Structure 1
Amino acid sequence: MPKEHKRRRHAHHQPLGKEIDEDNKTYKEVKTRKEEKPKDESYIPSDLSRKILNIAHDQQMEIKEDDMDQEANTEQDFHFKVPTAEDEDDMDDLSSDEGEVEEFIKDYHIEEEDDKALNMFFAPDNREKQNLADLILQKIYAKEAQLNPTPTSQLDEKVIKVYTSVGKILHFYRAGKLPKAFKIIPSLSNWEEILWITEPQNWSPQAMFAATRIFASNLNAKLAQRFYSSVLLPAVLDNIQQYKKLNYHYYQSLKKAMYKPAAFFKGILLPLCEGECTLKEAIIVSSVVAKVSIPMAHSAAALLKLTQLPYSGAVSLFMMVLLNKKYSLPYVVIDALVDYFRMFDSDDRELPVLWQQSLLTFVQRYKTELTSEQKEMLKPVLKKHFHHQITPEIRRELFTTSCRGEKVKEMDVESFWCVCSKQKRKRGRR
């Protein structure tokens, strides 16, 4: 490297400001490049414009080919992957207690003598039932006749083809994600007609549970009631009639249907009580009501409606389950229950033990909410329909407790504390 030359030292010192300026100066000044003026881009060379036109022409040809092949490729959008272990998150709500229905049924042991009397109030098991498809068709045609007196237009062939393939998927469905075309059915105006194309009578129990979750959460109470009564209830009854017990996934579907209590009572419970219902069907459905929490207002409305129906074994069973929930019922419902049991004074039939148990449950839960006049009204009923074990218990509950409107005697409590204080004083003197 070349030898650095030493700076010459001045004999006289320069002013301090100049020395600082000289030190701050750089030895080489950096030249700044002048920005080039942008070229005129408005002009496009002929070669480039020819390429752009060729690419645009190719894109238009591809769009035309896609439009021509759209009908052939419609079904490709609905091919779904095989469910994996990660897709089983939709089934988290299912518990592992598959024997809960059998445990509930074991609590209801009926003797042979009572079984004969009880069969008078239940429909026989070998009755003829309509298929699920017939019931759905009847619902659809009746609704269409009300809304549209003129015949409606037919569905598009593409829609029918798509939802027919969705129905085939639901027939073999076990776990995983559902087709997107099925999830949008609740948002359609003609969802009942679209639902019939998927053939709900051929769905697997797992598909019925998944469908109940979708329709219960996306439909309002009025529309959910139509789904329960036309799709879910016939499938449950067919399964009980075929296997003499209810499939676990159908049982979970009933529990999920309680997400809309008003729709459940109007679409499942009340139709069972109004129509032909066997003892096993009533026990299974009532076990769902017993295990799921229900708002008090809906339970009170259901009890009020049950008191207006003619007597059957299913009415007594559902009434007993709802009374066992121990809700603080309005006086209107309690008075209606008293009038309901009082009407059996003129009934000459031999009532089953199930009726006696429902009356005992009512008295045990609401004995203090009855007036003295209402308790006197029930005496002739107890005398006419006497049971050697249950009736004495009903009498003991009724006539050994206070009535509605009576004040609780507080003098006994005050006298008790006075006696206790006197005893403490005597002990202190000793």
Structure 2
Amino acid sequence: MGKDQFGRPAAKAQRHDPLHVQLMAKAARNERKNKPDANYVDAKLSRKILSIAQQQQDEINKEARGGLSSDDEEEEQTYGKKAGSAGGANKSFIPAIGGDSDEEESDAEDEGDFGTFDEIEIDQRDAELLAKFMPTAPREKKTLADLIMEKINAQNAANAAAAAAAAGGNDVAVVPEKRGPLDSVMDYADEDETGDNRPMPMGLSPKVVEVYSKVGLLLSRYKSGKLPKAFKIIPSLQNWEEILYITAPENWTVHATYQATRIFTSNLKEKQAHKFFSLVLLDKIRDDIAENKKLNYHLYMALKKSLYKSKAFFKGILFPLCESGTCTLKEAAVVGSVITKVSIPVLHSAAALLRLADMEYTGPNSLFIRVLLDKKYALPYKVIDGLVDHFLRFKMDPRPMPVLWHQAFLIFAQRYKSDITPDQKQALLELLRFKTHEGISPEIRRELVNSVARGEMLPEPADDDMLMDI
């Protein structure tokens, strides 16, 4: 039988292609497979589209209602509503167009934690007890405008004294005041660029006053986008307080306040940052809580950003709030929730606890002490001793203590019962005879009785003697 002349072409068809040809063909298939769809829109572009659509819808709604602006609507958004609710994303939390991408991502991460704090519910009896510990003469609060006004009045008084001495022809020498960042030559101006009748620093260039007055006008209407470069350089200026005063921080929107807090927290030193927090940010936060009974989302995020300079936060936010004598439980709950969420250096936390323990007592002080103790840091013995003295000083106080004080006492006993001395342990047990709470005091006693104080020997196990006998 002869050879099959027709089998060879079929055999050739079954042969594999060379390896490099197969790899190139596979790469081409993968490239076609991974080629992005022309109709696909990524997440960042989707956010921008939704933001534009929201702005257009706000304009339509504004025309339909006849005057209510979208800024007024967004200021009503607070941490009573979460960004990730079941009905979908909260539209007011959509990142603004023109913002930095890292800012948008960080804001999106923080929205999930926004508003998650424990509401403080107290009965009428506890409210009356807390009122007894409020100071009779609250400390007067000071704003940035008040600080500038003091400098202006002091400078005018010095100029008037010098003029009177020169006119009288006497030899009285006027000692010049020590000059600081606010001590430029200042006087009263008729009116600033924003139309407000208020004193303005006149030692500055008129062009500078004009520029930053316009920046302040922009910040009073700011909603989204990039801030002017003239505003971003303020932290690097020696007289940054004067320049900031020109922008009228009391008129900033909540969006501008948040962006300003990010800039000043990142670029100011601790001493300067605590001035910004106490003179600008604290008043904005307290005013918003007093007006709306809750805090705006952007101001909450500004408060959270300020805690990244923890030393300045304590000096500029926490301590002035406690020393004001008018701190409400709502304000304390908001600030306490921020402290709970952010990690704080141990030494700064310890110094804050020691300062709170030495302050004149108010109800919010106990709340802040409880929050800081609940972070479970290893505190120095000096702080432990200060906290023990804080609780013991109320032993002979005839007033009954509020439940917040007993809660802070319980947290201290649970977390640091092994760090107190035997004498302190006995003193705290004796304190429970004078200051009792039917639900909390038994728990405190149980924690102290079953603890091993600092310097005490651990009890030997009961089974050791039995093992030796065997």
8 A Cα contact 1:316 1:354, kept in partner: yes
Q: Which residue of 2 aligns with 1:345?
A: 395
Q: 1:109 aligns with which of 94, 109, 121?
A: 121
What does 1:243-392 correspond to in 2, within 5 Å? 243-275=292-324, 276-392=326-442
2:248 matched residue in structure 1: 199
Q: Which residue of 2 aligns with 1:85?
A: 97
Deviations 1:115-135 (A, max 9, x none): 2222333579xx998695644
Cα distance in 1 for partners of 2:380, 2:268 equals 30
User: How many angstroms does 1:331 deviate by?
Assistant: 0.5
Report the Cα offset of residue 87 of structure 1: 3.3
CA distance in 2, matches of 1:128, 1:332: 29
Closer, same or farther in 2 for the Cα pair 1:268/1:140, shift >3 Å? farther
Whether contact under 8 Å (1:273, 1:315) holds in the other structure is yes
C-alpha RMSD of the superposition: 2.9
Q: 2:291 aligns with which of 219, 230, 242?
A: 242
How many angstroms does 1:241 deviate by?
A: 1.0
2:209 matches 1:165: no
Count residues with an aligned counterpart.
334
Identical columns (%): 47
State the one-letter code of the partner of 2:433. Answer: K
Q: Of 126, 130, 133, which aligns to 1:121?
A: 133
2:263 is matched with: 214
Q: 1:137 aligns with which of 118, 138, 148?
A: 148
* Structure 1 residues 195 and 380: alpha-carbon distance in aligned structure 2, compared to 1, 3 A threshold: same
1:94 to 88, 97, 107: 107
Shift of 1:356: 0.5
Q: 4+ runs of 1 displaced by more than 6 Å?
A: 127-131, 142-145, 413-416
| 2:395–2:434 contact (8 Å) kept in structure 1 | yes
**Which amino acid in 2 is paired with 1:94?**
D
Aligned counterpart in structure 2 of residue 230 of structure 1, from 279, 287, 300: 279
CA distance in 1, matches of 2:222, 2:212: 15
How many angstroms does 1:99 deviate by? 8.2
- SS for the counterpart of 1:349 is coil
C-alpha contact (below 8 Å) 2:277/2:316 kept by paired residues:
yes
Deviation per CA, 1:289-320, whole angstroms, max 9, x where unpaired?
A: 11111010000000111111111011111100
Q: In structure 2, what is the equivalent of residue 65 of structure 1?
A: none
One-letter amino acid of the counterpart of residue 113, structure 1: R
Matches of 1:223 and 1:412, distance apart in 2: 60
TM superposition shift of 1:257: 0.4
Cα distance, 1:104 vs. partner? 1.4
2: CA distance, partners of 1:362 / 1:165:
52
> Do 1:133 and 1:201's aligned partners in 2 also have CA atoms closer than 8 Å?
no
Pick closer, same or farther for the CA change 1:235–1:138 going to 2, 3 Å: farther
Give the Cα–Cα distance (whole angstroms) in 2 for the partners of residues 139 and 105 of structure 1: 40
SS at match of 2:390: helix
1:173 is aligned with what amino acid?
Y
Q: Which amino acid aligns with 2:384?
A: I
Q: CA deviation at 1:336?
A: 0.8
Give the unaligned 5+ runs of structure 2: 1-94, 156-176, 187-201
Distance 1:123 1:344, change over 3 A: closer
* Contact 2:223/2:255 (8 A) holds in 1: yes
Measure, in 2, the Cα distance between the counterparts of 1:331 and 1:411. Answer: 29
User: Structure 2 vs 1, CA of residues 143 and 332 (structure 1 numbering), >3 Å: closer, same or farther?
Assistant: farther
Say if 1:139 and 1:230, in contact at 8 Å, map to a contact too: no
In 2, the alpha carbon distance for the partners of 1:333 and 1:409 equals 27
- Contact 1:224/1:263 (8 A) holds in 2: yes
CA distance in 2, matches of 1:330, 1:122: 30
Q: What's the CA shift string for 1:357-413, capped at 9, x where partnerless?
A: 010110010011111110111133211111111111100000111111123346568
Residue of structure 2 in register with 1:36 after alignment: none
Rounded Cα–Cα distance in structure 2 between residues aligned with 1:263 and 1:155: 28
**Aligned-pair CA distance for 1:335:** 0.7
Q: Which amino acid aligns with 1:204?
A: T
Change in CA separation of 1:140 and 1:207 when aligned onto 2, cut-off 3 Å: farther
> Following the alignment from structure 1 to structure 2, what is the Cα–Cα distance between the partners of residues 278 and 244?
11
Instruction: Say if 2:213 and 2:246, in contact at 8 Å, map to a contact too.
Output: yes
Using the alignment, how far apart are the partners of 1:220 and 1:142 within structure 2?
28
* 1:287 to 1:188, Cα distance in 2 relative to 1, 3 A: same
1:324–1:361 CA contact under 8 A, matched in 2: yes
Taking the aligned partners of 2:150 and 2:109, their CA distance within structure 1 comes to 36
Checking the alignment, whether the CA contact within 8 Å between 1:122 and 1:278 is kept in structure 2 is no
Q: Aligned partner of 2:179: which letter?
A: L
**Which residue of structure 2 lines up, in the alignment, with residue 403 of structure 1?**
453
For residues 82-131 of structure 1, give each alpha carbon's deviation from its aligned partner in whole angstroms, at most 9, with x where no partner exists: x973535234322476685654143x22123222222333579xx99869
